[in-house]
Amino acid sequence: MNKNLTSNDLSHVIAADKARVWHHLTQHKPFESIDPRVMVEGKGMKLWDALGKEHLDAVSGGVWTVNVGYGRESIADVVRDQLVKLNYFAGSAGSIPGALFAEALIEKMPGMSRVYYANSGSEANEKVFKMVRQIGHRVHGGRKTKILYRERDYHGTTITALAACGQPQRAQQYGPFTPGFIEVPHCLEYRAQWDVEDYGRRAADAIEEVILREGPDEIGLLCLEPVTAGGGVITPPEGYWQRVQEICAKYDIMLHIDEVVCGVGRTGEWFGYQHYGVKPDFVTMAKGVASGYAAISCTVTTEAVFEMFKDDSDPLGYFRDISTFGGCTSGPAAALENMRIIEDENLLDNTNRMGARMMDNLHALMERHAVIGDVRGKGLFCGAELVNDRTSKEPADEKRVAAVVADCMAQGVIIGMTNRSLPGFNNTLCFSPALIATPDDIDAITTAVDGALGRVFG
Ligand code: PMP
């Protein structure tokens, strides 16, 4: 029992949750016979649920979010101080934390210039789509409004973000969607679509083929995750990004990197694209920006993009968009302190060291468990793809992958799996601990997985 909850409180909380809360991404039928887990406290890498059970969190809050770990009093302090001073003001007026976080963020992003605040990753991406459409109308005479997205990538949950969704089952039954979004092939070499030496270049050339088919004059944007998250922890093959950049330049197509998962240290650089020497026109980020201490997302653009929205001779000549809660000061205040922590505690270095240890451990597990077909990762963002057979690469059954996750949970270690219930995408175990993870944490995670794989797959 948690120290803050009596058994009466607890039964009330669970009853209220069961009766009144509709959980995200959840089939509620099982909750008719079992109680949902209620998390009540966190510190560092650890979580405690309402029954007092301790968990080691290897997924940073379930969806790659709590980059600096739980229970950060300094973030709570700066947010509290800011809230009592000024919690909110919207529109053209600035705020102290909004200005200072934008300045600090752009220092980490050479070549980028402007920060547009909103609340979620989906929203940050929709801002880009709107900007691109407006540029198409204003600068290209109504052309270049089509947007390319990649198979297996995910950019959010709203109807337009789902139009850019490379995981078809996520979008099923939610159409009709916003038109003008076109899919390009994924770049996962393990599930190669071309039998060639230079796979990265070939996978990027496939994007060029789509551009030529659709007509370069119609396409304004290519939107990609630097490392695909929910679609399988897909690290790009050698040479991929260099060729992508060449193709964008050749056809005058702007490049949008969705850093909602990879951003703010997750991969061992401030941003995932910075590993690959890419120069984007747009970068979006959300989850790790304030590590879940406040809701904030950022759409970051170059100065060249910003300049296109400064036509005061035309009543339509600016970005006519607002997110009410983009005016909350708690977001940038938390984000600034989150960034200070990452810097002062050298968490990028730690991410690289601990990420390397995680990959070593996963490779060692691969030698012991034939069910691991592939391991992939960048920094503290790693995945192990499970297959029935290494030659056929037939994906392991979803229920058994889920059983591995459940076995780890029973051992007190929370790991993840790629999109449950999405055939073809749901066979990769995911590991994304907070950037503060220690060698002992990493070893505890992979030891739990070792035991779970042995029990579930033999
Ligand atoms: N982009 C990516 C790459 C994501 O993984 C997600 C969420 N998992 C989103 C966008 C959407 O973010 P949000 O849920 O905050 O809208």
Q: Pick the more confident residue, 455 or 15.
A: 455
Residue 158 near ligand 1, beta carbon < 6 Å: no
pLDDT-derived band at 5 (thresholds 50, 70, 90) equals low
* CA gap 45, 41 in Å, rounded: 11
Residue 419 near ligand 1, beta carbon < 6 Å: no
Closest C-alpha residue for ligand 1 atom 9: 156
- What are the strands of the beta sheet with 54-57, ordered from one edge? 39-43, 46-49, 54-57, 413-414
Q: Is 1's pLDDT higher than 50?
A: no
**CA 418 to ligand 1 center in whole angstroms:** 13
**CA 125 to ligand 1 center in whole angstroms:** 9
Atom of ligand 1 nearest to the CA of 259: 3
pLDDT-derived band at 419 (thresholds 50, 70, 90) equals confident
Token couple for 244: 């992508």
* pLDDT at position 256: 98
3-7, 218-222, 265-269: the lowest-pLDDT one: 3-7
Average pLDDT over residues 105-118: 98
Residue from 60, 65, 152, 154 to probe ligand 1 pocket by mutation (most atoms less than 8 Å from CB):
154
pLDDT, one tens digit per residue, over 122-178 is 999 999 999 999 999 999 999 999 999 999 999 999 999 999 999 998 999 999 999
Question: For the chain, which domains are there?
Answer: 37-68+346-457 (3.90.1150.10), 74-344 (3.40.640.10)
Closest C-alpha residue for ligand 1 atom 5: 261
pLDDT, one tens digit per residue, over 339-384 is 999 999 999 999 999 999 999 999 999 999 999 999 999 999 999 9
**CA 150 to ligand 1 center in whole angstroms:** 15
Q: Is 68's pLDDT higher than 90?
A: yes
Percent pLDDT > 90 in the chain is: 90
Residue from 59, 233, 262, 287 to probe ligand 1 pocket by mutation (most atoms less than 8 Å from CB):
287
pLDDT-derived band at 6 (thresholds 50, 70, 90) equals confident
**CA 156 to ligand 1 center in whole angstroms:** 5
Compute the mean pLDDT over every residue in the chain, rounded to the nearest whole number.
95
**CA 210 to ligand 1 center in whole angstroms:** 25
* CA gap 102, 432 in Å, rounded: 26
Which residue do the tokens 């992979």 mark?
446
Residue 229 near ligand 1, beta carbon < 6 Å: yes
Residue from 127, 260, 298 to probe ligand 1 pocket by mutation (most atoms less than 8 Å from CB):
260
Residue 260 near ligand 1, beta carbon < 6 Å: yes
Residue 155 near ligand 1, beta carbon < 6 Å: yes
Residue 222 near ligand 1, beta carbon < 6 Å: no
Q: Provide the whole-model pTM.
A: 0.97
Residue 156 near ligand 1, beta carbon < 6 Å: yes
- What value of ipTM does the predicted structure carry? 0.99
pLDDT-derived band at 31 (thresholds 50, 70, 90) equals confident
Residue 63 near ligand 1, beta carbon < 6 Å: yes
C-alpha closest to that of 121 among 26, 252, 262, 238: 262
Q: Is 338's pLDDT higher than 90?
A: yes
Which residue do the tokens 């468990």 mark?
369
